[in-house]
Chain A
Amino acid sequence: MTIGLVHWLVLSALLMAIGAIGVVVRRNVLIIFMSIELMLNAANLAFVAGAHSLGLMHGQSIVFFVMTVAAAEAAVGLAVILALFRNRQTVAADEIALLKW
């Protein structure tokens, strides 16, 4: 038995589902953010597996852009978390309820 596209997609779907669970279950904003990075990685794996399976390089180009956007997102997101912690002394998502009424 050889490992084909479906195997990679199943692994990617598992990682994506675990990341989605992390976003909903955890209350630490940092861990929610890490779960989002995990989901981005799962998507990257699906792109690379698809590129390999089809023999086309376009999937790999998309992964390059996903990595760039993830780097920008991490920089801005962590700055937001730092500013949040400075103002509220917490990183618990359920204690940040300024918009709640």
Chain B
Amino acid sequence: MSPFLFYPLATMSVIFALSVVLAKSPVRSALGLVAVMAILAVQFAFLQAHLLAALQIIVYAGAIMVLFLFVITLLNLESDRGIGEKPKLSAIGFGAGAVVAGGLALAMLGVVEPAARAVALPEGFGTTAVLARQMFNRYFVAFELTSILLLVAVVGSVVLAKRTAAENSEGVTGA
């Protein structure tokens, strides 16, 4: 990927990521996160992860973020006062962020840039066929376990979001 594409995209993703954290209204945070995910999808495509770029848009920017926006509109929140409200807490937060960044920078000191490949990427790198073959061979058990995980998540969210009979009658008398 050429630097002329990398640096603008990287700068934009960092700016939108900052808008997720700094925005006062949750809707703006969510839209910032959608933008970050869309830019990451572009970067995945440049890294030859074609299926993942599509999934990033469909699953993350599509399904998950729409779910977030639905919940935000359901809750009908007033925007809070952002991060300036508790300066002490904010200072601790930025300290924690600095620690995370410093730790990752330390870890990165050990990264050795792989020498330029003698040959190009293997045939079919990043295609759905190769990914699927790997999924149903080496990662088969993990793949089946995620299907159970999704089933449990569906049942769990239905149970959590359901109103009980007592709550329902309470709502009626309250109205």
Contact (Cβ within 8 A) A64 B92:
no
> What residues on A are CB-neighbors of B83 within 8 Å?
25-26
Minimal beta-carbon separation of A100 from chain B (angstroms): 16
Cβ-closest chain A residue relative to B163: A86
User: How many chain A residues touch the partner (CB < 8 A)?
Assistant: 70
Chain A residues near B (Cβ < 8 Å): 1-11, 13-22, 24-28, 30-31, 33-35, 37-38, 41, 44-45, 48-49, 51-55, 57-58, 60-61, 63-65, 67-76, 78-83, 85-86, 91-92
> What residues on B are CB-neighbors of A79 within 8 Å?
156-158, 160-161
Contact (Cβ within 8 A) B18 A18:
yes
Cβ-closest chain A residue relative to B55: A67
Minimal beta-carbon separation of B94 from chain A (angstroms): 6
> What residues on B are CB-neighbors of A57 within 8 Å?
125-126, 130-131, 134
Q: A52-B48, A61-B135 are in contact. Are A25 and B64 (CB under 8 A)?
A: no
> What residues on A are CB-neighbors of B125 within 8 Å?
55, 57
Minimal beta-carbon separation of A50 from chain B (angstroms): 10
Q: A30-B71, A83-B160 are in contact. Are A55 and B122 (CB under 8 A)?
A: yes
Contact (Cβ within 8 A) A71 B59:
yes
Contact (Cβ within 8 A) B13 A15:
yes
A91–B77 alpha-carbon span in the complex (Å): 9
> What residues on A are CB-neighbors of B93 within 8 Å?
21, 24-25
> What residues on B are CB-neighbors of A38 within 8 Å?
17, 20, 33, 36
